[in-house]
Amino acid sequence: MKKIVYPFIFFSIIGISVYIMQMLGTKLPLFVNNHLNDLLIIPINLFAVQLLWGVLTGTIVFLRLGIVATCVLFYSIVFEYILPQFNSRYTADWWDVLCYLSGGLLFWLYQHVVIKFKR
């Protein structure tokens, strides 16, 4: 379970720190300011799913590639296509889609390399 809790907490702290620094007006490198949280959001959410499942059932769930891809697709459509049409806070950006995809890949590889789920 530690292999799920630690990255969840680590990524969450990084994401929250970036958000707080943005709210305080701290000048951040462009990638950190514009894309880091997009890279982290997919792993944070999928680790949260694994963590919640583990707490409720006592087992670690393996999230298949289809579930990870569905999460990436959902975030891409909602945050890069739908929301920019209704709220100026959101901007359609292909780099964010690439970050969602990279975050999903990072999570999926973590499952296979660190947690070592066997197929």
Nearest-angstrom CA–CA distance, 42 and 84: 19
Stated pTM of the model: 0.89
pLDDT (tens digit per residue) in 4-60 = 888 999 999 999 999 999 999 999 999 999 999 999 999 999 999 999 998 999 888
CA–CA separation, 118 vs 62, rounded Å?
A: 9
pLDDT at residue 67 tops 60: yes
First to last CA, the chain: 19
Q: With contact defined as beta carbons under 8 Å apart, do 47 and 53 qualify?
A: no
Q: Is the pLDDT of residue 118 over 70?
A: no
